Structure 1
Amino acid sequence: MGLDVRISVKSTRTKYSTVVAALMVLPILSGCANGDSVVESAGAESRDQIVVAADASVESSVLAEVYSTVLSSSGLSARVESVGGGRTQSLEALDAARVTLVPEFTGALLDHYDPSSPARKADDVFEALSRSLPEGLSVSDYAMAEDRAVLALDTAYAQSLGAKTIEAFAPSCAAATPLVSVRFVEDGAVEQLAEGAECVFAGVDQATPADVPGAQVFGTTTLSALAQSGAVTVLADSNHVLAAQNVVPLFRAGALGDSAVKALSVVAGELSTTDLAAMIEQVRTGKASASEVARTWWDTRQ
């Protein structure tokens, strides 16, 4: 394989864009293009069809359709390919060149490639991820949309403690057995809380809130229905105890041209956690398909 070059430049939103290219370096565009400029820039760019992987999760399916929709709107040929399973299956498909792009989360992807990394802040996690990627893979700008682990309290309980932050609640952790989601555990949040905030629980319970009426402490993620419901108080994490998990596209180096990279930067600039959570909830409740919510979301931005 030819020369592998890694470049990091800071965008106007104080984030870093890293593109790893084999034999050539793709131009990096700082800032966020608007929808019109993306469409106009496609021109006569000639590339193979961009295949976006979607695993079995609703989150992956929605993100895949979002990327595919924006890429297609830029005049490129793009489609979603269901690979089933989870991250392992998506990365295997990417390695085998069956897909071109995999929607991911920065912290989870960093943990996959460098599980010993201490990075927690969004920019730090992204930089560490960029350095950890194997030859032939690349990432571009991460989005503000995230699915970061969060610690949440029953609102009345939070008020009784006067706790609004993880640090304020930490002394109460020893007496708590939070209900935690699978993702919360997989992301290493229990260990991160113990290490970064001296919050060590009496135990954890992976039951759902519906199974344990009266539960007061929850470990979940920002995209969960619980965190978005307003029924709980999500504790602030100003010290970045829990690792960032921002949406990021992982793709094969050299597989995307200028117009595709611009389209990815549009998603980075436009997609919010609230938007993504709303789309996911519509799909989970059967109100719309992943492709429908992605199309509607993009249409509102034209």
Structure 2
Amino acid sequence: MKRTSTLLACAAAGLLLLSACGGGSDPLAPGGGGQAPAAADTIRIASADFPENRLLAEIYAQSLEKAGVTVERDFGIGAREVYFPGLKDGSWDLVPDYTGVLLQYINPDATETEADAVYDALKAQAPAPLTVLERSAAENKDAVVVTAATAQQHGRSLADYGPVCGQLVFGGPPEFQTRPDGLPGIAETYGCTFKEFRALDTGGPVTVAALADGTVQAADLFTTDPAIEDNGFVVLDDPQNNFAAQNVVPLINSTKATPQVTDALNAVSAKLTTEGLIQLNRQLNAPDKPEVDTVAKGWLTANGL
């Protein structure tokens, strides 16, 4: 108990320091980068503010540079509510995104949940000047995660939790309170309204520590997070598909999607797998804390890219 409480305090302090140093963004702040667009022959790549997305952005960047494309990096922008408007106004040109949550951001009334249906709807509904390229097989879904003890007491499916959610504190990123598949979706689909919401980080060490030491009893984590297995956490089943398919996909300004760019990014998507993402995240979490660019280069080399 003392060890995880210390981890929570240290992780929280780290997040505050990162924010103070300008390394983070308010995930609910008004969106739009407010920057002049990159040069016509340059791809300015953004990322969300969690490690996997930064890594995917770096993989995109290195694959494009290998193809002879000039790249600018602007990683750790914040949540979709921040970077999506910036893609539309030209502040950024490309970001790695996830099909299901991206579709629901564009169309909160979207009902598609299966991978192909979600992707087809996304291609049709992405607003100009944005488009998506080929989706990968790699999928990283949001999930409601509990400890093994909680799962033993209350069940291993969200369908079991309607009567007991009022006893549980939920933790997750601030935007999870309002996203269609966040707390509103869980309440509508499963009749589950939690006792309290604690705003934590985006599937990171603060959330993991809070769940481990009982500060929260349920949390939003990503299914590719090795911390789930390492801590013996349980991903609750989602039989009503509150969380749609979430395949990794390049979201790009269509004016920058030249054949040279498209071919390089589609080649990356063809190689990405869910198990591969889990292993990449495990590498990022290794005790020696390798740099994102080193992990990205290793993956590209191993996959002949």
Alignment TM-score > 0.5, same fold: yes
Q: Looking at CA atoms only, which structure, 1 or 2, has the larger radius of gyration?
A: 1
- One-letter amino acid of the counterpart of residue 193, structure 1: I
Helix, strand or coil for the counterpart of 1:138? strand
After TM superposition, list the pairs within 5 Å mapping 1:154-165 onto structure 2: 154-161=147-154, 163-165=155-157
- Among residues 282, 286, 289, which one is paired with 1:287 in the alignment? 289
* 150-159 or 204-213, larger mean C-alpha shift: 204-213
> Which residue of structure 1 lines up, in the alignment, with residue 16 of structure 2?
none
Q: Distance in 1 between matches of 2:139 and 2:175?
A: 13
> Which residue of structure 2 lines up, in the alignment, with residue 247 of structure 1?
248
Residue 150 of structure 1, CA deviation: 0.6
Going from structure 1 to structure 2, the CA distance change for 1:71 and 1:228 (only over 3 Å counts) comes to farther
Structure with the bigger percentage of helix: 2
Residue segments in structure 2 that go unaligned for 5+ positions in a row: 1-39, 201-206
Residue 297 of structure 1, CA deviation: 1.0
- One-letter amino acid of the counterpart of residue 123, structure 1: D
- Among residues 162, 167, 183, which one is paired with 1:175 in the alignment? 167
Helix, strand or coil for the counterpart of 2:64? helix
- 1:235-260 CA-to-partner distances (Å, cap 9, x unmatched) read 22243122333221111224333343
Residue 50 of structure 1 contacts residue 77 of structure 1 at CA under 8 Å; is this kept in 2? yes
Matched, 1:76 2:68: yes
Matched, 1:222 2:215: no
Residue 50 of structure 1, CA deviation: 3.6
> Which residue of structure 2 lines up, in the alignment, with residue 131 of structure 1?
124
Residue 138 of structure 2 contacts residue 277 of structure 2 at CA under 8 Å; is this kept in 1? yes
- One-letter amino acid of the counterpart of residue 196, structure 1: T
After TM superposition, list the pairs within 5 Å mapping 1:76-225 onto structure 2: 76-82=68-74, 85-86=77-78, 87=80, 90-91=83-84, 93-97=86-90, 99-161=92-154, 163-182=155-174, 184-185=176-177, 187=179, 188-206=181-199, 208=207, 210-211=209-210, 213-214=213-214, 216-224=217-225
Q: Distance in 2 between matches of 1:265 and 1:146?
A: 16
Q: Distance in 2 between matches of 1:123 and 1:265?
A: 17
Residue 85 of structure 1, CA deviation: 2.9
Residue segments in structure 1 that go unaligned for 5+ positions in a row: 1-46
Give the structure-2-normalised TM-score.
0.69
> Which residue of structure 1 lines up, in the alignment, with residue 30 of structure 2?
none
Going from structure 1 to structure 2, the CA distance change for 1:271 and 1:141 (only over 3 Å counts) comes to same
Q: Distance in 2 between matches of 1:228 and 1:200?
A: 26
Residue 184 of structure 1 contacts residue 221 of structure 1 at CA under 8 Å; is this kept in 2? no
- Percent identity between the aligned chains? 27
Residue 105 of structure 1 contacts residue 147 of structure 1 at CA under 8 Å; is this kept in 2? yes
Residue 51 of structure 1 contacts residue 79 of structure 1 at CA under 8 Å; is this kept in 2? yes
Residue 97 of structure 1, CA deviation: 4.1
Q: Distance in 2 between matches of 1:218 and 1:236?
A: 14
Going from structure 1 to structure 2, the CA distance change for 1:59 and 1:209 (only over 3 Å counts) comes to closer
Residue 144 of structure 1 contacts residue 269 of structure 1 at CA under 8 Å; is this kept in 2? yes
Residue 295 of structure 1, CA deviation: 0.7
Helix, strand or coil for the counterpart of 2:198? coil
Residue 161 of structure 2 contacts residue 190 of structure 2 at CA under 8 Å; is this kept in 1? no
> Which residue of structure 2 lines up, in the alignment, with residue 260 of structure 1?
261
Residue 81 of structure 1 contacts residue 99 of structure 1 at CA under 8 Å; is this kept in 2? no
Residue 261 of structure 1, CA deviation: 2.4
Residue 288 of structure 1, CA deviation: 1.6
Residue 293 of structure 1, CA deviation: 0.8
- One-letter amino acid of the counterpart of residue 149, structure 1: D
Q: Distance in 1 between matches of 2:166 and 2:252?
A: 42
Going from structure 1 to structure 2, the CA distance change for 1:211 and 1:250 (only over 3 Å counts) comes to closer
* 189-198 or 259-268, larger mean C-alpha shift: 259-268
- One-letter amino acid of the counterpart of residue 61, structure 1: R
Residue 64 of structure 1 contacts residue 80 of structure 1 at CA under 8 Å; is this kept in 2? no
Helix, strand or coil for the counterpart of 1:288? coil
Matched, 1:66 2:53: no
Computed over aligned residues only, the root mean square deviation of the Cα atoms, in angstroms, reads: 3.1
Going from structure 1 to structure 2, the CA distance change for 1:275 and 1:105 (only over 3 Å counts) comes to same
- One-letter amino acid of the counterpart of residue 193, structure 2: V
Going from structure 1 to structure 2, the CA distance change for 1:55 and 1:199 (only over 3 Å counts) comes to closer
Residue 100 of structure 2 contacts residue 245 of structure 2 at CA under 8 Å; is this kept in 1? yes
> Which residue of structure 2 lines up, in the alignment, with residue 231 of structure 1?
232
Q: How many residues align?
A: 254
Give the structure-1-normalised TM-score.
0.69
Q: Distance in 2 between matches of 1:281 and 1:182?
A: 25
